[in-house]
Structure 1
């Protein structure tokens, strides 16, 4: 295979861990080339933070060569050709060239090959099917990967429907890659294939859907892409229930206007059109307990606007800063109301610690039991109503007053 062009050698191509792995492969008579995200990001002018290497060496041969060279090699996915090599605590994934033998839409049975074109043919998008030598020789087996990368076009390798039937997750990857890297409109053939095959997403595991969706939700063009997913009928197959792309878009705009970090859980909550569906969505996407709890609370918490600053602090104290922020932003995404003051307080105000405890109550001669908690709750409510101004002694005075009312 001849290189399509030669590019200037960048600093990341001389990374010590990559250099060590490529040297070991070369010393054994094999080829090793950068592939995937590193090559794509370089052509897009984006940072390269990690890299994968493709090789014509079999997985076992890669293991043997690395061990002989004193490198730590871990067979992380050896049945699919992947070996993780660690050099100076830096991991590098090395994967043998492959071709698909059998696919079922979720997983593939592969055979190893030494044919770079066969390996490229099984990849998802043309801009991910590029290979790069450490000396800058750039290979483009599909013939369009370089041009597509530079034009920020997300196109499937070969027939879009064929690629999707091999792995249905590629529907979400198509939208996620466009949201992260794309320019202009989505590829028409890819969009049509995604819409036609969207019902097949029901076969995907929730973990795989959430992994892709969470990355899509924080991508720079997430709002536009979510609208398109809804329009072509893909979004409704994320879970069993309606999706509110409009509210998600409004929330994304609010986050950007207020310079908040893109938050995948909050954006997911905005997508869930019915609060009662939170549990269903959490189960479908296999969210962690913490993720499910946060989304459920965000959707169940009334996001009514506090009447003044004291009410704002009271709400933050009772709910917590994050649930308060989530609820207010979700409400504002629906109503368009101004949440600037709410966000400022949630970011800048640290709720105080209630100064009394059970010992303050029993110290008055009140036996342990339900009345202890009742009195503490009453004093705490009084303390909150006073905008947290009362100190410990004032709270004890109020406690004595309340206790005396019931003897």
Structure 2
């Protein structure tokens, strides 16, 4: 008897039923595939809706356009079109098999054989198909693997990795997200063997895999496996502080039930715990893996040794300077080093409910004193603002103007 999915809201939504009906309107088959099937089976929220179809790419585009559905040729040479209806994207891919691979890209041939399409995928749990009625089509025993948390390559692990080296990092990410118990040994062995090929990958894709792994609820086992299997040495050798990461995760686990909207899986925070605390090494990995400027700066700020813990420095001053989220992260990082203080609830509450006070003066106030426009205006304003912060934000506009006049009279 075939397995079935419990119908989820996304499956019965008007946009979904419309796309599926259109794709099958001329005799082609269409089924949901991959993460949306896997996560619905596991009662997890889905991220994307992927559809596999026997219709050829040109036919898919024609069907969508004729039914007033936006069609974006996101990967036409690989048979992928993105349909957008009611602001919901659907990634639609024609069944295919890989006929030539180079470790990064594949030359494909379209097919109408569901088994062939399933067998060219990476992990068994990602090769599950389901139709509109929720009937699951499982060609590689992915159903049982998904329920057991067994992250297993389809067929020979070494062959799958040679087809796409990124699958090494995907294995550890999927173990962090879905793995239960001991990781698949043959998969680990294949990943270890192919690890020296990791530097051939596009750096942005490596970055995406690492950050996604760190967003898992419990990433520590996967990260430590990557260390033990000598994977990190080829993609992020700056990962050094495993104890700090584990302590941070323990703190998060303790606090998250009480602060579910304020303390969430945070890749940047966890990365700052894991990485070397040397600014030069932080910048090196940021440049190599092409981190965004904001992530790079955030990592540097969180390891800034010139800033004491908010516990000592003064919580409100820290909140004013770096904001609520960064102060929260700084608190958690410090607690992961030195232990949870007795007043942690008060500190978190203050950070979560912080409303930034408005500095009473602007550059116009400085210009009104006759100070010529230029760097001096900013320098004077900063001097007064620093004083105002040191006074716990208490001086009002009148007192700040008096401070301004006192500074002007001495310059």
Select 2:152's aligned residue among 145, 152, 155: 155
> What's the secondary structure of 1:111's corresponding residue?
strand
Structure 2 equivalent of residue 282 of structure 1:
286
- Per the TM alignment, residue 214 of structure 1 is displaced from its structure 2 partner at its CA by 1.7
Select 2:30's aligned residue among 29, 32, 38: 32
- Per the TM alignment, residue 122 of structure 1 is displaced from its structure 2 partner at its CA by 0.9
> What's the secondary structure of 1:117's corresponding residue?
helix
Structure 1 equivalent of residue 270 of structure 2:
267
- Per the TM alignment, residue 99 of structure 1 is displaced from its structure 2 partner at its CA by 0.9
Structure 2 equivalent of residue 297 of structure 1:
301
Mapping of residues 176-195 of structure 1, within 5 Å = 176-195=173-192
Structure 2 equivalent of residue 211 of structure 1:
208
Structure 2 equivalent of residue 325 of structure 1:
328
Change in 2 beyond 3 A, CA 1:372/1:161: same
Change in 2 beyond 3 A, CA 1:205/1:323: same
> What's the secondary structure of 1:173's corresponding residue?
helix
Q: Residues of 1 paired with 2:249 and 2:197: CA distance? A: 28
- Per the TM alignment, residue 125 of structure 1 is displaced from its structure 2 partner at its CA by 0.6
Q: Does 1:139 align with 2:137?
A: yes
Change in 2 beyond 3 A, CA 1:234/1:112: same
- Per the TM alignment, residue 371 of structure 1 is displaced from its structure 2 partner at its CA by 5.6
Deviations for 1:202-253, whole angstroms, at most 9, x for unmatched residues? 1111211122222211111212221222222212222353432322222233
CA contact 1:38–1:49 (8 Å) conserved in 2: yes
Q: Does 1:388 align with 2:393?
A: yes
Q: Residues of 2 paired with 1:197 and 1:222: CA distance? A: 22
> What's the secondary structure of 2:27's corresponding residue?
coil
Segments of structure 2 that go 5 or more residues without pairing to the other structure are 257-262
Q: Residues of 2 paired with 1:368 and 1:20: CA distance? A: 61
Segments of structure 1 that go 5 or more residues without pairing to the other structure are none
Q: TM-score, normalised by structure 1?
A: 0.88
Change in 2 beyond 3 A, CA 1:292/1:33: same
Structure 2 equivalent of residue 10 of structure 1:
7
Change in 2 beyond 3 A, CA 1:119/1:307: closer
CA contact 1:53–1:92 (8 Å) conserved in 2: yes
Mapping of residues 7-406 of structure 1, within 5 Å = 7=4, 10-11=7-8, 12-48=10-46, 50-142=48-140, 144-259=141-256, 260-273=263-276, 274-306=278-310, 311-336=314-339, 338=341, 340=344, 341-361=346-366, 363-364=368-369, 372-405=377-410
Change in 2 beyond 3 A, CA 1:35/1:253: same
Change in 2 beyond 3 A, CA 1:374/1:132: closer
CA contact 2:24–2:30 (8 Å) conserved in 1: yes
Q: Residues of 2 paired with 1:24 and 1:357: CA distance? A: 59
CA contact 2:49–2:89 (8 Å) conserved in 1: no
Q: TM-score, normalised by structure 2?
A: 0.87
